[in-house]
A and B are shown apart, each in its own frame.
Chain A
Amino acid sequence: PHFRTFTDTFQTCKVQGAWPLIDNNYLNVQVTNTPVLPGSAATATSKLTIIFKSFQECVDQKVYQAEMDELPAAFADGSKNGGDKHGANSLKITEKVSGQHIEIQAKYIGTTIVVRQVGRYLTFAVRMPEEVVNAVEDRDSQGLYLCLRGCPLNQQIDFQTIRSAQGTEGRARRKGPSLPAPPEAFTYETATAKCREKLPVEDLYFQSCVFDLLTTGDVNFMLAAYYAFEDVKMLHSNKDKLHLYERTRDIVAGNT
């Protein structure tokens, strides 16, 4: 998937299997990513688990879990708020579009989370105060988690290289065994034209859209990029930084 981290770095990563997105004293978020095509290095999010840890006399511990084709508008125990304590409503789930879009407000930690299912896969976006991001028991021994530190180098994909190769070839196919031919072959030109319909600014969301169409042929990924940018517009605190154009460059040479 494509990641925009707390520090506005932007990466495209393999991160197949279960990975932590967020881990602090109040919140734990974990995703599971699966290959979009058999044998593909490109993965998308098929499962998401969010644990809101209990918060003194305010909210009980609550678990939210979404999977492919199952985006509930309730926590795992069936409730829609933080329990029975007096501050229970400082945590609540709102269904925006049935089965497609939910929003979780955790007011006690100033946090908003948006989860969507677009096509078969999930998207995630969060707005979180720096105080909460930094609320960890021991920062020195803080484990790796993707929203804070991004992907490990060996998990990063250099999609510019792939784009260049595809641009040269003029076809939506990669040489080599890692990415088989997508079901619907976009050329670079048809992919950019398709993405421009929803993403007129040629920023990294646009480029991600092109990458996804080229690697999968699934037009739902165009919508995923579009909604990811809509969520940034709603959740990002600095309106001057919505569009990103330069990717993080710390790629291992020859990684892809």
Chain B
Amino acid sequence: CKILKCNSEFWAATSGSHHLGTEEAPEFCTALRAYAHCTRRTARTCRGDLAYHSAVHGIDDLMVQHNCSKDGQLFCFRGSVLNKASDKFVSCSSCVLSQFSSYTHCGLFGD
């Protein structure tokens, strides 16, 4: 169970936010979504883990408190985006989900 890694990533992302006012809500929501995404990825191995279940409930509460939607950017936070290939944060522009490393194609035609 890697819930502690999720916790530390979230706290690292939000450290310095002493008072999370409304002006910070979009970025905080982005961090929360990334936190939720992280917990879902580790859900299978964390069943029954108290820290995991506390985190899941805590995220839900914070989502409500800060009026965060569950959809939206996952990785872009304070101008940084998680590059999955390198597992490092790099700069990103707004309204771009991520910096994409590889593309796939799907097609449908004919009878």
Query: A: which residues have CB within 8 A of B?
Result: 1-8, 12, 21-22, 25-26, 31, 36, 42-45, 53-59, 86-87, 90, 107-110, 118, 121, 123-133, 135, 137-138, 140, 146-147, 208-209, 211-212, 215-216, 218, 221, 224-225, 227-228, 231-232, 235-237
Contacts and interface: CB of A to CB of B under 8 A. Distances in A.
A125 B94 contact: no
A124 B108 contact: yes
13 contacts: A1-B110, A2-B108, A3-B106, A21-B108, A26-B97, A54-B71, A55-B73, A56-B69, A87-B94, A118-B109, A138-B43, A146-B106, A224-B110
A56 B44 contact: no
B105 interface: yes
> What are the nearest 7 A-B pairs in CB distance?
A87-B95, A56-B72, A129-B100, A147-B106, A228-B109, A58-B95, A6-B104
Given A125-B105, A231-B107, A56 B98 contact: no
Contacts of A124: 106-109
B104 A128 contact: yes
B84 to A, nearest CB: 6
Interface residues of B, number: 29
Contact of A228 (B40, B84, B95, B110): B110
A12 to B, nearest CB: 8
Given A130-B101, A212-B110, A221-B110, 10 more contacts: A22-B106, A25-B71, A90-B95, A123-B110, A126-B105, A130-B102, A131-B84, A135-B97, A211-B111, A215-B111
Main SS at interface, chain A: mixed
A121 B106 contact: no
Given A121-B111, A126-B105, A228-B110, A135 B74 contact: yes
Contacts of B30: 56
B96 interface: yes
Contacts, number: 154
A216 B111 CA distance: 8
A225 B96 contact: no
Contacts of A45: 108
A237 B104 CA distance: 7
Interface of B: 26, 29-30, 40, 43-44, 69, 71-74, 84, 94-98, 100-111
Contacts of A26: 97
Nearest to A235: B105
B107 A108 contact: no
B105 A2 contact: no
Contacts of A44: 110-111
A137 B40 contact: yes
Nearest to B84: A131
B106 A237 contact: no
A86 B105 contact: no
B102 A129 contact: yes
B105 A4 contact: yes
B96 A90 contact: yes
A140 to B, nearest CB: 7
B106 A128 contact: yes
A231 B44 CA distance: 39
B101 A6 contact: no
A131 B98 contact: yes
Contact of B110 (A2, A127, A133): A2
